[in-house]
Chain A
Amino acid sequence: MSAELDESASNDPEIQLVTFRLLDESYGINVMQVQEVLRVAEIAPVPGAPHYVLGIINLRGNVVTVIDTRTRFGLPRGEINDLSRIVVIESESQVVGILVDSVAEVVDLRLSEIDSAPNVGNEESSRYIQGVASMDSDLLIVVDLNKLLSEQEWAEMSMF
């Protein structure tokens, strides 16, 4: 019996997601890629940066590029307030910050609970949307951070 359970678990691994809010939706990202969550301090704009780059911050002597997640997801820009956070993530060997409206909680999910999102219309978003999961009475959009930017865009994140 326990062997069967073990086999079942290995076939359907459990993952933990850090959830955050953008506008009226909840999004989840792999907790293993989250380094820390910061309150929003001064973000210095960078001349000539892409429109989805808000600017740079000094994180303990390191310059970290901050992405406006709303802009990247095609949502209207929002106002930064007390709930806004910068989630520092690591992806494709790059450390960047993503600005979100608020950070909620860490949830546990099984991989089987993530349903593939129907690929309708927007090919851009379907690239980084891994799927949709049910969370209580809400739906959670699971994001594949590695595909949030193209390979070239990731490489340029360290060049600001």
Chain B
Amino acid sequence: MQRRPREQPETESVATTLADSDEAVYNLLESLLQEVDEFDTQPSVKAEVQRRVEQEKVEVAVVEPVVEQVKVLPTVPIEQAIVAETDTYSEQPLPGWAKGSISCLICEVEGIEIAVPMVILRGIAVWDMKTLPMPVQPEWHLGVVDYRGNKITVLDTARLIMPDKVRQTADERRRDHAGHFIVINDTMALSCDAIKQTIKLEQDEIRWRPKRPTRPWAVGTLIDRLCILLDTQALLEEIQDV
């Protein structure tokens, strides 16, 4: 007579499997803790360990193809990576007027000379006319004047290019304006404290700034006078970005 094996419930079979695993691990640990000369290579433990190792090898073999499919990106040396990240000082084109001989107007703003190319100027005027302050405007907006029938906004040059040197408040500057303004396009003018002279410069008298990570409006430096050459278009673009 053959006894039919009793089907074990699922949970009981899992428990049995876990118990077997625990016992195998226990036996393995016990064997590792024994003295070498007393070490008894229990076939069951060795076999179990070997089985597990083989199993892991199989698993690794299964995983490996997946790993190989991963695209390995080319490594970049750290120094190059840092340079690539920080090398944002790309050259910028010089203005169209920055060629050949350049006639410039030398103005004084807060005691500092700046050079403005004559070719872009629409006019120069003594700032002694009525100026209309506009509500809710930035501090560099000094007001609107009527210049030859055109409504011109006067910008505070000092506030724009060297705000740390400006001591007066915007209201004080709007109220106590003096000096001159130079008209740079149909609607905008730059304030200045004094007009000094006009000069003609050759290319070798200017140190150009092809890279302008800061102060994009300082397109160059006059070597003899040590003053900046102002790119008024870049200045306008900067305030429009604000």
Q: In chain B between 113 and 172, which residues have their CB closer than 8 angstroms to a CB of chain A?
A: 113-114, 161-162, 164-165
Say how far A135's CB is from chain B's closest CB, in angstroms: 36
Interface check A121, CB cutoff 8 A: no
Task: Give the residue name and chain of the A residue nearest to B164 (CB).
Answer: A51
B214 A156 Cβ-Cβ under 8 A = yes
Q: In chain A between 43 and 91, which residues have their CB closer than 8 angstroms to a CB of chain B?
A: 44-48, 51, 55-58, 61-63
Please, how many angstroms separate the alpha-carbon atoms of A151 and B88 in the complex? 13
Interface check B226, CB cutoff 8 A: yes
Please, how many angstroms separate the alpha-carbon atoms of A138 and B80 in the complex? 43
What size tier do the contact residues of chain A reach? Answer: 20 to 34
Say how far B159's CB is from chain A's closest CB, in angstroms: 11
Specify which chain B residues have a CB less than 8 angstroms from the CB of A3 in the assembled complex: none
Say how far A126's CB is from chain B's closest CB, in angstroms: 21
Report whether over half of chain A's contact residues are helix, strand or loop; otherwise say mixed.
mixed
Partner of A63, one of B109, B207, B211: B207
Interface check A155, CB cutoff 8 A: yes
Interface check A1, CB cutoff 8 A: no
Please, how many angstroms separate the alpha-carbon atoms of A159 and B209 in the complex? 6
B221 A47 Cβ-Cβ under 8 A = no
Q: In chain B between 82 and 125, which residues have their CB closer than 8 angstroms to a CB of chain A?
A: 86, 89, 109, 112-114
Interface check B228, CB cutoff 8 A: yes
B89 A48 Cβ-Cβ under 8 A = no
Q: CB-CB contacts of B46-64 with A at 8 A, as 1s and 0s?
A: 0000000000000000000
Q: Max chain B CB contacts within 10 Å: which of A42, A47, A51, A56?
A: A47
Please, how many angstroms separate the alpha-carbon atoms of A42 and B112 in the complex? 13
Interface check B227, CB cutoff 8 A: yes
Say how far B144's CB is from chain A's closest CB, in angstroms: 25
Task: Indicate whether A44 sits within 8 Å of B161 (C-beta atoms), given known contacts A152-B86, A160-B221.
Answer: no
Interface check B223, CB cutoff 8 A: yes
Please, how many angstroms separate the alpha-carbon atoms of A57 and B218 in the complex? 17
Q: In chain A between 118 and 160, which residues have their CB closer than 8 angstroms to a CB of chain B?
A: 151-152, 155-156, 159-160
Specify which chain B residues have a CB less than 8 angstroms from the CB of A159 in the assembled complex: 209, 211-214
What size tier do the contact residues of chain B reach? Answer: 20 to 34
Please, how many angstroms separate the alpha-carbon atoms of A13 and B100 in the complex? 53
Task: Indicate whether A63 sits within 8 Å of B162 (C-beta atoms), given known contacts A44-B226, A152-B86.
Answer: no
Specify which chain A residues have a CB less than 8 angstroms from the CB of B165 in the assembled complex: 47
Task: Give the residue name and chain of the A residue nearest to B114 (CB).
Answer: A47
A151 B86 Cβ-Cβ under 8 A = yes
Please, how many angstroms separate the alpha-carbon atoms of A156 and B209 in the complex? 10
Task: Give the residue name and chain of the B residue nearest to A48 (CB).
Answer: B215
Specify which chain B residues have a CB less than 8 angstroms from the CB of A155 in the assembled complex: 89
Specify which chain A residues have a CB less than 8 angstroms from the CB of B161 in the assembled complex: 47-48
Say how far A140's CB is from chain B's closest CB, in angstroms: 33
A61-B223, A63-B223 known, 19 other contacts, Cβ within 8 Å: A42-B226, A44-B225, A44-B227, A45-B112, A46-B218, A47-B112, A47-B114, A48-B218, A55-B226, A56-B221, A56-B226, A57-B226, A58-B223, A62-B223, A63-B207, A63-B226, A155-B89, A156-B213, A160-B218
Q: What are 20 A-B interface contacts by the 8 Å CB criterion? A: A44-B112, A44-B113, A45-B112, A46-B218, A47-B114, A47-B161, A47-B162, A47-B215, A47-B228, A48-B215, A56-B221, A58-B223, A58-B226, A62-B223, A63-B207, A63-B221, A155-B89, A156-B213, A159-B212, A160-B218
Q: 4 smallest A-B Cβ distances: which pairs?
A: A44-B226, A47-B162, A47-B161, A48-B215
Q: Which residues does B use to contact A, with CB under 8 Å?
A: 86, 89, 109, 112-114, 161-162, 164-165, 207, 209, 211-215, 218, 221, 223-228
